[in-house]
Chain A
């Protein structure tokens, strides 16, 4: 088992983080062990140990530049799009180390979907946006694609809004709708995990609320890891929260514990708004 910074002082039932209780809890989907990451000479992630559970929402919070986006992008190796990135350590996903050179990124990314900070639909029709993923994986049958498009749009709670305009350009939608299209697009490859990198930072409060509700529904079927700048959002929607600071995990625990009785002074300072 990975060493976690567990709150040992509080014996509150909200922090049942002992190994003998693991069996009743959800399984681990992502097990990060001693992950280090450098951008050139900049040491961006330092000795990260983090075990992320299935069918939960795991929030990653922290001030700008703390490495939270870098971490989530390492989970599907999108971070490699930046030249001069080096990593060490392991990230075990479903019993395999994804940092292994032999692990194909394309294969990994069909199991791990991602939603980005800014809504980024393709300049294509809504239908073609959703069908993009299945098509690149070789699904050509129109009936199957129709089914995937409907199921994904329903899954992202936007089917009713767009079902009559599937052939319209996705850019004709509002920002909030575009982001839910992007979530639907991620669902279309039927992933196991969904990574969300500040998915509501470019959205208005009402669209944000819709996305948050959606995240709650999605965790029945998916494991969700969400980076957020917004601590209230983390408190509202996540089951567990990891607090990152300067490339390190300061604290990782049940969200209730983090926000009520954090064990580290820095976490307390951050969540009470004293810095960041």
Chain B
């Protein structure tokens, strides 16, 4: 008994091939649309902002006059903020990930915590801004300082860092842990000498991507009341400061036409920053990727 009628299979071949091509075209167009939109955005920003991008732009403070406006205070302010965010979020994030993966008992509670951390990663940043306003600015009376903003941003990106670090730690083969335990290593020795060295590329990649999110976030800074007209550089962690996204936001909402171009110049600087950080993440991933 033959079940497959080859004649009809051949007859249907034509329409199958057409459907095949339609789907290929559909997916290609979807990709093309995203790329075009991005390209257009870059083009517009670049054309608009390049005129204002000069050395003076980096060395001037904010100003009422577009031609005198500069990004110095915001750029330095962002760097200060990152100096708080990077250590705080990485230490807390990687620490929690190690605890959850290596020490905590696997079970319902662990699953529940893990699920909630993943959900936290999706909470809108403005909510974290309100949290920061309540806890750091008001309750701890840090005011709208670098420290308050840094802590708020750290909270914002902490879930992302925890989740990506957990994944990196989980990807370390069980064999390697067994080999270490089998020679009488303690848990900490195994983590420090085997697990972390193998997981560090993944942890850093996720960490840097999270940090680049923190550098571009605006909403939490608006909520905790970071000022924009700052004519001095921060002196310590409790100083007032402004950050690049705040500065750009302020320029963009000004009525004068010329400030739109200043905002575009600011965006170019911010994008360069993000691009640089993401390239570092890709570099680390490629350079330290391990085979098992």
Is B179 touching A116 in the complex (CB atoms < 8 A)?
A: yes
**Contact bitstring B170-200, A, C-beta under 8 A = 1, else 0:** 0001011111111111100100011001100
Give the top 9 A-B pairs by smallest Cβ distance, nearest first. Answer: A120-B175, A109-B184, A110-B184, A114-B182, A133-B183, A106-B184, A136-B185, A120-B179, A136-B189
Chain B residues whose C-beta falls within 8 Å of the C-beta of A133 in the assembled complex: 183-184
Subset of 7 A-B contacts with CB under 8 Å: A78-B178, A108-B184, A121-B179, A122-B176, A132-B183, A186-B182, A186-B183
Is A136 touching B173 in the complex (CB atoms < 8 A)?
A: no
Q: How far is the CA of A182 from the CA of B184 in the complex (A)?
A: 15
A123 at the binding interface (Cβ < 8 Å): yes
Is A106 touching B179 in the complex (CB atoms < 8 A)?
A: no
How many A-B contacts at CB < 8 Å in the complex? Answer: 70
Is B173 touching A120 in the complex (CB atoms < 8 A)?
A: yes
B232 CB to nearest A CB, Å: 49
Chain A residues whose C-beta falls within 8 Å of the C-beta of B6 in the assembled complex: none
B292 at the binding interface (Cβ < 8 Å): yes
B105 at the binding interface (Cβ < 8 Å): yes
Is A116 touching B189 in the complex (CB atoms < 8 A)?
A: no
Chain B residues whose C-beta falls within 8 Å of the C-beta of A121 in the assembled complex: 179
B16 at the binding interface (Cβ < 8 Å): no
Q: How far is the CA of A182 from the CA of B189 in the complex (A)?
A: 19
Chain B residues whose C-beta falls within 8 Å of the C-beta of A110 in the assembled complex: 183-184
Is B182 touching A106 in the complex (CB atoms < 8 A)?
A: no
B106 at the binding interface (Cβ < 8 Å): yes
Q: Which of A174-194 contact B (CB under 8 A)?
A: 182, 185-186, 189
B291 at the binding interface (Cβ < 8 Å): yes
Q: How far is the CA of A116 from the CA of B179 in the complex (A)?
A: 8
Interface SS of chain A? helix
Chain B residues whose C-beta falls within 8 Å of the C-beta of A171 in the assembled complex: 291-292
Is A122 touching B189 in the complex (CB atoms < 8 A)?
A: no
B290 at the binding interface (Cβ < 8 Å): yes
By beta carbon, the residue of chain A nearest B291 is A171
Is B184 touching A137 in the complex (CB atoms < 8 A)?
A: yes
Is A132 touching B180 in the complex (CB atoms < 8 A)?
A: yes
Chain B residues whose C-beta falls within 8 Å of the C-beta of A189 in the assembled complex: 183-184
Q: How far is the CA of A76 from the CA of B185 in the complex (A)?
A: 13
Is B182 touching A116 in the complex (CB atoms < 8 A)?
A: yes
